[in-house]
Amino acid sequence: MIVLHRLGHNAEEFHLNPDLILLVEALPDTVVTLTTGTRFVVAESPVRVAEEVRAWRTEILRDALGRRRDEAPAARSPMARVVSSRLGDRPPLTAVDGAAATEDSSRPADHPER
């Protein structure tokens, strides 16, 4: 969450999920429009709001990448084991672009419309 201040409410502080921000405008006051249609007039400039969002996303990614490197590889899920057991030794599928099919031609095509 990022911290912004409502304009006209004694600079009332509130926390906003940046994933909900659709648009930030300077009209001349900064208006933040959310994906829900809600609009807030805030004390921060559009540049400042963008910097806050960028810093928040950077922090989220840094935390996620740090945890990923520190953790041991996860054991395969039960679903992944079932899928791999059903596939067996089948060769990988090729792109549907007129290239020769690697699958048995007696089986119906996955996407006959292509």
pLDDT in tens, 31-80: 999 999 999 999 999 999 999 999 999 998 888 887 766 555 555 666 66
- For the whole model, what pTM was predicted? 0.58
pLDDT, one tens digit per residue, over 88-98 is 666 655 555 55
Hey, what are 33's tokens? Answer: 């429009």
Q: Which phi-psi region, left, alpha or beta, contains residue 23 (left: φ > 0; alpha: ψ -120 to 50)? A: beta
C-beta separation of 92 from 99 below 8 A: no
| Domain residue extents for the chain | 2-69
